[in-house]
Amino acid sequence: MTHSLTHTQLVELAEKFGTPLYVYHAEKIKDQYQTLEKAFSDTHARFFYACKALTNINILKYVESLGAGLDCVSINEVKLGLKAGFTPERILFTPNCVDFAEIEAGKELGVNLNIDNISILEQFGNKFGGSYPICIRFNPHIMGGGHYKMSTGHIDSKFGISVHQMRHIERIIKTTGLHVTGIHMHTGSDIKDVNVFLAGLEVMFEVAEHFPDLKFVDLGSGFKVPYHEDDVRTDVFDLGAKVGEAFVKYTKEKGRQLEVWFEPGKFLVSEAGYFITKCNVIKQTTATVFVGVNSGFNHLIRPMMYEAYHMIENISNPFGNPRIYTVVGNICETDTFAWDRKLNEVREGDYLVFYNAGAYGFEMSSNFNSRLKPAEVLVKDGEALLIRKRDEFEDLLKNQLEVL
């Protein structure tokens, strides 16, 4: 079943909690998680929610209740996960370019460690040897993802250890006795073609031959969700079937059975999220009609950072005559959400909703221009729960020290 919130519900939430406002629909997150479980039901699959997409503690608790694990990229995300109820064995820690002390902190907390740097690998091996199992993140040199900035497996990526550095890795393992139980790759976000995953899996199967104690292969994620009516989504059922076939074949040929891990983030929460703004002003120039809303890239930066498309609707005048608008924010920078977008007539005071706002929306927000961060609401079982208060002016000064 596909869950979604209606215009009427969204307007009511805007009136009750004010705008700008992030709204998340719990049942949609559940739908997405159960879809993955069904798609990979014939494989030994585990799913770790990539919480960098949205880390509100209530979202983490809800995802934990569904049975997922947690994929973290910072030690504070690990600590949030533990606080939300995830046990250490259900947390995967994959930091990048961090101080070795952060790796040590992850080890002390007992979580699964995923190391993506030769230097860190050597430091860890020299200090701990094989006393603590680790996973190694590889760069498969595969270009994947919907935007260059979302691609993490190409030759110039900062992520992962090149598959061509295997000899160096083997020397470190032989010298230090490292115990490697997992291998990992992640090529990027918004991957349309399931063959990108299969190409990566072929590389991982070759890499697996170098690790006799291997227990799992992690294929990352990057499952695409549609952002507009004609957009595509990753066919996870097709992928599940093909990945299942590949692992069955591998088991028959090699005589060992491995788990496959995935790290869905956007796939779980993006479509569950709505961002509601209010039209402050209508401004007409010689060539353009601007809709100026009470937000900007301080709240939703994806359109400016990735040229990301978010469908926008006027939810308080849904039957107005369609007109062409350019939707912009109230930040003193160029913060255009959408050029030449057809919307039902927008009047000052109308509410506009941005769809697919659950991933990397609030999570990438800031207080730029000394603007306040918005509130967050979770709709669960038909009840609207305030899960983050709107910033107040005092929050801007909270950590500042007046010394003059």
With CA atoms as reference, report the closest residue to 368 among 327, 331, 402. 331
Is 332 in the active site? yes
| Residues paired with 310 in a beta bridge | none
The answer to the question of whether 360 is labelled as a binding residue is yes
Q: Which of the following is catalytic: 51, 72, 279, 332?
A: 332
The Cα 141–Cα 144 span in angstroms is: 9
The Cα 173–Cα 180 span in angstroms is: 8
The answer to the question of whether 341 is labelled as a binding residue is no
The Cα 267–Cα 226 span in angstroms is: 10
The answer to the question of whether 306 is labelled as a binding residue is yes
Question: Which tokens is 402 given?
Answer: 């007046």
- Show the DSSP H helices in 133-226 as ranges: 166-176, 194-208
What residues contact residue 202 under an 8 Å CB cut-off, 6+ apart? none
Let me know: does 279 contact 349? Beta carbons within 8 Å.
yes
Query: What secondary structure does DSSP assign to 328-358, as a single string?
Result: E-SSSS--EEEEEEEEE---TT-EEEEES-S
Let me know: does 357 contact 377? Beta carbons within 8 Å.
no
Question: Which tokens is 174 given?
Answer: 């032989």
Residues at the binding site for substrate are 302, 306, 333, 360
Catalytic positions: 332
